[in-house]
Amino acid sequence: MTLAVWISFLAAAFNLSAVFLFGSTGEIVVEKSGHLNLGIPGVMSVGAAAGCMTVYSLMKAGITSEFALLFLPMLSTILAGGLMGLLYSFMTVTLRANQNVTGLAMTTFGLGLAGHFMNGLKANFGKIASASYAYKNFFKVDVKLGDTGFVNSMKQIFLSHGFLVYFAIIVAIVAQIILSKTRTGLHLRAVGESPATADAAGINVTAYKYIATIIGCAIAALGGLYAIMEHLFGRWDYVCEGFGWLSIALVIFTIWRPGLAIPGSIIFGALYILKEKWLVTNETIKFAIKVLPYVMTIIVLIITSIVGSKKAQAPGSLGTNYFREER
């Protein structure tokens, strides 16, 4: 491959990484509260559908402002993701339903609900696609394509993307700081490790679980919006399902640290781009690349289990519902 092709490949990987970064950061926040949300693919799908429907409504009303086409759909996506998180919280925190079953049901429900609404807009996908420029151009730095000079190459790889790419990085950094450096993060981690102990210490376990799940799902939903509007140029597809499962795998790969999810998401983005669009035509090799993120995740699990470091382990109560009367 020529240098120009490598630069283009790395830029595409960095661009796609935002999908995985939103999804994994959101899931990390949820899991830090002790809840394993396997409904992330459904959350991302519903978020994408809500955002696309808002884009269509704005375009239909004749609103073409880049600011409006970007931030109003973001708001509707966050609200839709938050509602999915509220539903999951009600089922698993209040009703104490099985987390795995509830998560899988949320994925099925989310994919079906999003597909139903988006299929009704099939005839208008062109109008939605025409708004994708707002996601590519807002906050973007112009670069000279084909110029392989060092400065221009760095601009093309890291600065030639839309606002949501950098917003995803900011969200991950803020999440890392809150989880590791603040009293709120300490309380949330305590709830995830041992809700009974946290409850005895006076921490409102139910409130922390609800808030963390709602915020986490709202963050993850943005990954769905970005996937459709940036990666697919406004064309509806069920790619959010695959992106969602990869985001959950990325949580384990980055040992529950949003900061590590930044380089991890770039790696996952590179593997996805390599499989889908670049150079690989052999089906066996494509399949190997497709499963590689999951294999890498399993390897990380094995290594962390052998090392036994507490900081590299999942929250102690992950996947277990808390009932105050049982403590």
Q: How confident is the model at residue 114 (pLDDT cuts 50, 70, 90)?
A: very high
Report d(CA 147, CA 4) in Å as an integer: 8
Q: How confident is the model at residue 141 (pLDDT cuts 50, 70, 90)?
A: low
Show the 3-state SS of the chain: CCHHHHHHHHHHHHHHHHHHHHHHHHHHHHHCCCCCCCCHHHHHHHHHHHHHHHHHHHHHCCCCCHHHHHHHHHHHHHHHHHHHHHHHHHHHHHCCCCHHHHHHHHHHHHHHHHHHHHHCCHHHHHHHHCCCHHHHHCCCCCCCCCCCCHHHHHHHHHHCCCHHHHHHHHHHHHHHHHHHHCHHHHHHHHHHHCHHHHHHCCCCHHHHHHHHHHHHHHHHHHHHHHHHHHHCCCCCCCHHHHHHHHHHHHHHHCCCCHHHHHHHHHHHHHHHHHHHHCCCCCHHHHHHHHHHHHHHHHHHHHHHHHHCCHHHCCCCCCCCCCCHHHC
Give the predicted TM-score (pTM) of the model.
Answer: 0.93
Report d(CA 74, CA 65) in Å as an integer: 14
Q: Does residue 22 have a pLDDT over 70?
A: yes
- C-alpha distances (whole Å) from 270 to each of 15, 135, 233, 287 are 10, 20, 19, 15
Report d(CA 145, CA 60) in Å as an integer: 34
Q: Which of 5-9, 101-105, 234-238 has the highest mean pLDDT?
A: 101-105
Q: How confident is the model at residue 279 (pLDDT cuts 50, 70, 90)?
A: low
Token code pair at residue 269: 């983005």
Q: Which CATH class is domain 3-311?
A: mainly alpha
Report d(CA 304, CA 127) in Å as an integer: 48
Which residue in the block uniquely carries the two structure tokens 């992950």? 318
What does the pLDDT read at residue 192?
Answer: 97
Q: What are phi and psi for residue 220, nearest 5 degrees?
A: -60, -35
At position 289, the amino acid (one-letter code) is I
Question: Which residues, 6 or more positions from 188, have their beta carbon under 8 angstroms from its beta carbon?
Answer: 32, 33, 179, 208, 212
Identify whether the C-beta of residue 218 lies closer than 8 Å to the C-beta of residue 85.
yes
Q: Does residue 278 have a pLDDT over 60?
A: no
Which residue in the block uniquely carries the two structure tokens 């509830």? 102
Break the chain into its structural domains and give their ranges: 3-311
% of the chain at pLDDT higher than 70: 92
At position 164, the amino acid (one-letter code) is L
Q: What is the pLDDT of residues 24-44, one digit of tens each?
A: 999 999 999 999 999 999 999
Q: For the residues 197-201, what does the mean pLDDT come to?
A: 95
Q: Which of 114-118, 254-258, 280-284, 307-311 has the highest mean pLDDT?
A: 254-258
Q: Does residue 153 have a pLDDT over 90?
A: no
